[in-house]
Structure 1
């Protein structure tokens, strides 16, 4: 038996295998037993087809480096990076936001340059009111259809990102699946006419379909966004422990994935409001949470989730804020009352897991 050094899944391996690739997390593991056999019995062939059912790809001892290289390349083709980036300005309305377009541009640049997302519409879908295609305007219909696109046909190894910058609200929870009695929502550009998109819908659309080996990150820069994905674990930064956010009702709704991982970074708690900032000098306004996240990741190559959360928290008080909340344009007075929040579909060690998309 072999234990994957990354995801800790156990696999059965052939007696003379030197390496095998984990199909869950794609880490290449080296067999100690295989290392000891290098130079011995190199002409021995072992069939690998029966080992695929155990969840690993075996690289045989007699493979030449060129064979291994081509094998790895063929596997990489199945790994997909896909992102949905939404920035809503609510232009021509009194509740207009000025920083959301800049947020989307900065997030896209981070995905492409730092995390190597392909820079094309097949892999990064942008919804803003600056887009010429009517299907790319962040209306309720377009956002909902794009959420479905994000997770459609997801496969092990896929890395998915949902980013939203705009207004967030709360509404009463009538099915008793929220511990605080409120559903959190995001506001499309036409939410006054068509309604908001609630956390229950987001959860069922992009969390449920996540298969084993699929990873989703949601980054939401809006008011009341703490549990916008309705994930069942929320990280308590002060106590450094995970708290239970599972539905409290007697017949709870499903909130889990189908085996994959969902992680959400929110601008603030469910009862807090997010703000804009002019900290990007010469580049107009930005959301405080987005500004800090992009800046910190650019400056810290191998930062962990815990370190990122701490640095974002520490940076809040050092930001010169703008005049507006992301809560329907209400005036923001001097200090920021927001604390970025981390939630997840599973518990993990936030100070050992590196942040990667």
Structure 2
């Protein structure tokens, strides 16, 4: 959404970013190289993170429709320790777009991985079989449960190792994307809520900001915000870009 891009641009300038350092791709550009085609997006992402240095701060925003890119490989993998990246997504597939391993709830705690939740359900089903007297089925279930749980922990550990990063990476997105209209203009719900929250109070913790975004979205939309990170973070620390 072009309106989102203009709002984010204004927001970044107000927070110390220089317009000359920005790469902006929108559908209304006359220069083909500034239109957000897949090739152009990949090209400029690579250019953006080509020479990361200590204390560099990056901001990546995407608002619109489109397929998935291997953005973890493009945006996350090149970054080194001491580099900060803040990402805001208003798009389809935004829930898994960067595949960052640590997803935080509005309580400021790490959400349980799906594999562990499924393991708990399997354990409950196994216990019910035992109490219902299905002994043979119980024995088989215990074996299957033990195997699945072990595989789940192996997968989880592998994901943490491969998807984490020494750089400080934080992503704001919705579990599902939504188009919104504010003041007669089209906008992405996440972009709108983020800017509105920080316009009210720019000195918030990550936890406060996530809750504020949730409250703003809850007023009009069904979408639920998420915050994910490249490594465990202190949610009571001040939000910064």
CA distance 1:306–1:108, shift in 2 (3 Å): same
Would you say 1:277 and 2:180 are equivalent positions? yes
1:1-357 → structure 2 map (5 Å cutoff): 100-113=1-14, 115-120=15-20, 123-167=21-65, 187=66, 196-198=67-69, 201-238=70-107, 240-243=108-111, 248=155, 254-257=162-165, 259-266=166-173, 268-269=174-175, 273-279=176-182, 281-282=183-184, 284-319=185-220, 336-351=221-236, 353-357=237-241
- Name the SS of the counterpart of 2:110 in structure 1: strand
**1:244 to partner: Cα distance:** 6.0
Quote the Cα distance in structure 2 between the aligned partners of 1:203 and 1:247: 21
Contact kept in structure 2, 1:265 and 1:343, CA below 8 Å? yes
Quote the Cα distance in structure 1 between the aligned partners of 2:154 and 2:194: 29
The unaligned stretches of length 5 or more in structure 2 are 114-152
Quote the Cα distance in structure 2 between the aligned partners of 1:206 and 1:214: 12
Quote the Cα distance in structure 2 between the aligned partners of 1:249 and 1:213: 26
Give 1 or 2 for the bigger CA radius of gyration. Answer: 1
The unaligned stretches of length 5 or more in structure 1 are 1-99, 168-186, 188-195, 320-335
Q: Compare the two structures and name the one with the higher strand fraction.
A: 1
CA distance 1:256–1:242, shift in 2 (3 Å): same
Deviates most, 290-299 or 229-238 = 229-238
CA distance 1:249–1:340, shift in 2 (3 Å): closer
Q: Could you say which residue in structure 2 is the equivalent of 1:29?
A: none
Quote the Cα distance in structure 1 between the aligned partners of 2:215 and 2:77: 33
CA distance 1:294–1:250, shift in 2 (3 Å): closer
Listed one character per residue, the Cα deviations across residues 19-60 of structure 1 (whole Å, up to 9, x for unaligned) are xxxxxxxxxxxxxxxxxxxxxxxxxxxxxxxxxxxxxxxxxx
The higher-RCO structure (CA 8 Å, 6+ apart) is 2
Contact kept in structure 2, 1:227 and 1:343, CA below 8 Å? no
Quote the Cα distance in structure 2 between the aligned partners of 1:317 and 1:261: 28
Quote the Cα distance in structure 2 between the aligned partners of 1:348 and 1:254: 18
The count of corresponding residues between Structure 1 and Structure 2 is 201
* Structure 2 length-normalised TM: 0.77
Quote the Cα distance in structure 2 between the aligned partners of 1:263 and 1:247: 25
CA distance 1:134–1:261, shift in 2 (3 Å): same
Quote the Cα distance in structure 2 between the aligned partners of 1:304 and 1:212: 22
**1:274 to partner: Cα distance:** 2.0
**1:337 to partner: Cα distance:** 2.5
